[in-house]
Structure 1
Amino acid sequence: MLATIFRCMTDPALHRIPHLPLIEELDDPPTLEETITAIGQLKSHKAAGIDGIPPEIWKKGGVVLPGKLHELLVCCWEQGNLPQDPRDAVVITLYKNKGEKSDCSNYRGITLLSITGKVLARILLSRLVSTIAEENLPESQCGFRSNRGTTDMVFVLR
């Protein structure tokens, strides 16, 4: 998956990136616990994506539904190929209820993503943040570190 991202970058940009040791744990397939945690972090009462499955179905699915999703994610992980449905998104424009409706700047867009894609993205994000942020970010980057925020840095400065 990362190989396709790096193919898009130019060679000079790649040479400026510091070489860090390879983190083998990031290549492991997602665990059932990671999948259950990611499903639990979904926000309720949000619009369903193009698959039409709202987050409440996944959250109330008991033990069986997260297990089946985990099997699908592991299969995709091992094959290195994700079906198109979790990657697709529908962009909908909503009127802000101010100004003229004919002005495009009075609209905002929302993106409806598949819940399956959101779960996979949450798994990847939690892995990256827990693995990379604590070891590679400087102490001053509190906005990107767990249990810290930018208000902590403002307090330190004052």
Structure 2
Amino acid sequence: MMPAEPTDTPVPKKPIIQHTVPATKVTVTQESAPIGPANDPGFHLFTVSLRVTDPKDAQWDKQTVTCQFKSPTGWEWVDWANYYWYNDQTYAVNGLKVVSAPPIKDGVLSFTVDASLNTTSTDSNRLCFTLLIKPTSGATGTQKDGKATIGVKGQKQLPVECPLWAIVP
């Protein structure tokens, strides 16, 4: 059964974890970290964003992008995700798209999106991904062994990666 779609997709102004690959000038950032007790039956939002950071190469043309998210220890993905474009200046969310039942294999949630950045007024600033995750009976404490990988080798300015983390108190 697919969970209900969250009604809000918060994007904090300061990133929690940021990882830039200098040669690509693209940044992928974990924007929110889930916190929940082991075996909590609820779902928690996990937000990751992608942005072009070099003003000389600020446009990122449309391409099909493979997105892979490995869950941190003690957490498992729910088969639901969405993505949207976020404008840092106007705080506008554009083009919200739901990814229905993305496959999860060995703790990795994978899907592809047709994406661009900074080519129109509706795909500006950030491409954000919101995922649902829930704690399991695994490890407690802060787990930093998850990973987001956006794109594959050979794509313009990709792939980029960042660690993903979550907390089970």
Q: Tell me which protein shows more helix as a share of its residues.
A: 1
TM-score range, shorter chain: under 0.3
Q: Tell me which protein shows more strand as a share of its residues.
A: 2
Q: For the pair shown, which has the larger CA radius of gyration, 1 or 2?
A: 1
Task: Report 1 or 2 for greater relative contact order, CA contacts < 8 Å, sequence distance ≥ 6.
Answer: 2
Q: What TM-score, normalized to structure 1?
A: 0.26
